[in-house]
C-alpha cells in the first residue's frame, strides 16, 4: 500500500500553492491599493475645477478598496492562464470580430452623420459616439458573459480543465478576468477610434489653435476638456460593463443561456432607471411623497427590486457630456466603489453555485 499522507480537512482540498514570485507581485499590487486608499482617506480625489476638494467618504468606497485587493489576491497564475485563453478565444469569435469591425466603421464614419443636426454637430458626435460604444460593448458583455461557462459544460471542455491542477474559484475568476480584459481592450480600441475621429473633426473645423482654445463665456471648453471628459465617460462605461458581465455570468449558472441574456437586458434597463425605482420605493431623500402611492407589499417588492438592481444610471453620464459638465474623478470613484461591491456579491454567488455544481 502506498504511503498515505493524512487526508486534508474538508474544504481545503482545492488549495493552490501559488509561487512566491507571483505572491510578491500580488503584495506589490495590494500595497499600491493600500496607498491609494490612504491617499483617498487623507487627501481625497482631486476633481475638475468646479468639483475640487476631498470626496465624501462612504462605506461603499472603503469596501471597494478591500474588494479590489481581494480580486488581486485571488488572481493566481492559473486564473491568469484561464483569463488569457478566455481572451484569446473571445477575440477569435467571428461575431466578435464582425461587431468590432462594424463599430470601427461606424465610429470612423460618425463625422459624416453630423449633417443630421446642423449647428449641433459636436454634441451630436459626442452623443452618437459614446452611445454607440455603450450599446456595442454592452452587447459584448452580456453575450460573452452568458457564454463563459455553459458552453464549457455543454461541450465538456471543463472536464479536461478541472481535472488539471485548477480549482473552481480560479476557473471562475479566470473566466471573468478574461472577459474583463476582452471588454477593456475592445472598449479601448473603439474609444481610441472615436476620440481620434472627434479630434480630427474638431481640428479640421476650427484649426488646431481654435480647437484647443478655452473660452468659458462662449461655452467653448477646448478639445482637451472634451477628450478628457469623454475618456472619463468611457471609463465609467467600463464599470457598467463589468457589472453586466458578472451578472450575465451568474445568471448563466442558474438559468439557460437565452434566459440569462433576457434577464440581463431586463436588469440593464431596470438598473438604468434605478433612480426611478428609488423614487417609487421612497428610499431616496425628499421622495417620501411618492411612497404615499405605494404601500404595503407593493412597496416592499419595489424596495427589494431597487436594492437588487445594479445602480447603472451612475455610470451613464451622457447628459453631462452633452451639456459640457465635467465628470469628476470623485464621482467616478463613487460609481466604481459601489460597482465593485456589486461585482463582488455577484461573483460570490456565482462561486457558491459553481463550487458544488456537478457535471
Partner 1 sequence: MPQTVESTAVAPPVAPVGAGGDVIIQTRGLAKIYRPAFARVGKTALEELTFDVRRGEIFGLVGPNGSGKTTTLKLLLGLIRPSKGSIEIFGRGPRDVAVKKRIGFLPDGPYFYDHLNSYEVLDFYGKLFGYSKAERAQRTPALLDAVGLNPADRSRVIRTYSKGMLQRVGLAQALINDPEILFLDEPTTGLDPIGARAMKDSIVKQRDQGKTVLVCSHLLADVQAICDRVAILSEGRLVKFGTVPELVGPSQRFEIYTEGINEAALQRAAQQSYAYEQENGRIRFLADSSEKLDEILGFVRDSKGRTVDVKGYSETLEDVFVRSVRSDGR
Q: Which of 160, 292, 319, 323 binds partner 1 (CB under 8 A)?
A: 160
Decide whether 185 or 305 has the Cβ nearer to partner 1: 185
Question: Residue 305 CB, nearest distance to partner 1 (Å)?
Answer: 25
Decide whether 2 or 209 has the Cβ nearer to partner 1: 2
Question: Is 241:183 a contact under the CB 8 Å cutoff?
Answer: yes
Does 295 interact with partner 1 (rule: CB under 8 A)?
Answer: no
CA-CA distance, 170 to 185, in Å (whole number)? 22
Interface with partner 1 by CB under 8 A: which range of 51-59, 74-82, 248-256, 313-321? 74-82
CA-CA distance, 79 to 164, in Å (whole number)? 13
Q: Which residues contact 23 (CB under 8 A, 6 or more apart)?
A: none
Does 77 interact with partner 1 (rule: CB under 8 A)?
Answer: yes
Does 210 interact with partner 1 (rule: CB under 8 A)?
Answer: no
- Give bridge partners of residue 332 from the DSSP assignment: none
Decide whether 115 or 359 has the Cβ nearer to partner 1: 359
Binders of partner 1 in range 5-24 (CB under 8 A): 5, 7-8, 13-17, 19
Estimate to the nearest angstrom the gap between the alpha carbon of 328 and the chain centroid. Answer: 18
Question: Is 289:272 a contact under the CB 8 Å cutoff?
Answer: no
CA-CA distance, 148 to 65, in Å (whole number)? 26
Binders of partner 1 in range 137-156 (CB under 8 A): 155-156
Decide whether 156 or 205 has the Cβ nearer to partner 1: 156
Does 353 interact with partner 1 (rule: CB under 8 A)?
Answer: no
What's the Cα-to-Cα distance from 87 to each of 93, 96, 148, 181, 185, rounded to whole Å?
Answer: 10, 11, 11, 7, 10
Question: Residue 101 CB, nearest distance to partner 1 (Å)?
Answer: 17
Does 159 interact with partner 1 (rule: CB under 8 A)?
Answer: yes
Contact footprint for partner 1 (CB under 8 A): 1-5, 7-8, 13-17, 19, 77-78, 81-82, 85, 88-89, 92-93, 155-157, 159-167, 356, 358-359
Amino acid at each position: 500500500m502506498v504511503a498515505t499522507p493524512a487526508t486534508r480537512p474538508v474544504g481545503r482540498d482545492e488549495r493552490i500553492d501559488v509561487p512566491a514570485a507571483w505572491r510578491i507581485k500580488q503584495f506589490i499590487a495590494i500595497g499600491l491599493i493600500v496607498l491609494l486608499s490612504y491617499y483617498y482617506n487623507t487627501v481625497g480625489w482631486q476633481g475638475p475645477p468646479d468639483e475640487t476638494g476631498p470626496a465624501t467618504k462612504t462605506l461603499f468606497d472603503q469596501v471597494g478598496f478591500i474588494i479590489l485587493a481581494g480580486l488581486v489576491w485571488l488572481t493566481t497564475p492559473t486564473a491568469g492562464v484561464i483569463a488569457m485563453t478566455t481572451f484569446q478565444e473571445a477575440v477569435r469569435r467571428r461575431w466578435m470580430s464582425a461587431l468590432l469591425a462594424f463599430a470601427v466603421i461606424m465610429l470612423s464614419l460618425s463625422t459624416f452623420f453630423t449633417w443630421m443636426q446642423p449647428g449641433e454637430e459636436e454634441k451630436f458626435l459626442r452623443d452618437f459616439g459614446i452611445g454607440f460604444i455603450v450599446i456595442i460593448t454592452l452587447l459584448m458583455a452580456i453575450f460573452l458573459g452568458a457564454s463563459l461557462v455553459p458552453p464549457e459544460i455543454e461541450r465538456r471542455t471543463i472536464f479536461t480543465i478541472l481535472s488539471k491542477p485548477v480549482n473552481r474559484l480560479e476557473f471562475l475568476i479566470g473566466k471573468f478576468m478574461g472577459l474583463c480584459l476582452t471588454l477593456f481592450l475592445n472598449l479601448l480600441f473603439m474609444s481610441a477610434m472615436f476620440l481620434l475621429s472627434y479630434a480630427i473633426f474638431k481640428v479640421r473645423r476650427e484649426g488646431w489653435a481654435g480647437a484647443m482654445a478655452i473660452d468659458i463665456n462662449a461655452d467653448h471648453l477646448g478639445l482637451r476638456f472634451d477628450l478628457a471628459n469623454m475618456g472619463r465617460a468611457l471609463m465609467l462605461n467600463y464599470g457598467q460593463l463589468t457589472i453586466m458581465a458578472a451578472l450575465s455570468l451568474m445568471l448563466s449558472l442558474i438559468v439557460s443561456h437565452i434566459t440569462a441574456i433576457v434577464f440581463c437586458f431586463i436588469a440593464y434597463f431596470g438598473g438604468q432607471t434605478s433612480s426611478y425605482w428609488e423614487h417609487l420605493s421612497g428610499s431616496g431623500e425628499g421622495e417620501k411623497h411618492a411612497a404615499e402611492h405605494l404601500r404595503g407589499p407593493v412597496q416592499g417588492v419595489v424596495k427589494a427590486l431597487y436594492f437588487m438592481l445594479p445602480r447603472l444610471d451612475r455610470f451613464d453620464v451622457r447628459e453631462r457630456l452633452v451639456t459640457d459638465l465635467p465628470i469628476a474623478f470623485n464621482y467616478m470613484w463613487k460609481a466604481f466603489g459601489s460597482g465593485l461591491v456589486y461585482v463582488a456579491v455577484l461573483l460570490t454567488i456565482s462561486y457558491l453555485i459553481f463550487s458544488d455544481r456537478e457535471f
